[in-house]
Amino acid sequence: MPSLLLLKNDVASRRTLLDLPDLGEDEGMNGIRCPQCEWRPAPSSRWCCVWAESPERFFHACGTVWNTFATRGRCPGCAHQWTWTSCLRCGGWSRHEDWYEPENP
């Protein structure tokens, strides 16, 4: 039985939750939308720093949960700069920078 402990994923023990009090409302964030389905994340939307089958290159994830757009894709737990972001609505992966709409002049 102790040998099964070697299979345990201990990322949860290193998880950090970033709470940003100024992101309270649940309306879509202006200027940010999924390039594939045009869904707008809310300030309360959360992503997790976990490497999975994705276009993102492999790295040692830390398990932090936060709104990736609050930090422009940089994990506050391990400082990994995410190149790709998955849509919480359609599940598609897009380059993080492609989520930002161009500013109107």
Domain that holds residue 58: 10-17+28-100
Confidence of residue 105 (pLDDT cuts 50, 70, 90): low
Handedness of CA 31, 27, 68, 55 (dihedral sign): negative
- The string of pLDDT tens digits covering residues 39-88 is 999 999 999 999 888 899 999 999 999 999 999 999 999 999 999 999 99
Any domain includes 22: no
Provide the pLDDT for residue 23: 43
φ, ψ of residue 3 to 5 degrees: the values are -65, -25
Measured CA to CA, the distance from residue 89 to residue 97 in angstroms comes to 18
Q: Could you give the number of structural domains in the chain? A: 1
3 pLDDT higher than 80: no
Query: Which residue would you say has higher pLDDT here, 96 or 52?
Result: 96
In this structure, is residue 3 part of a structural domain?
no
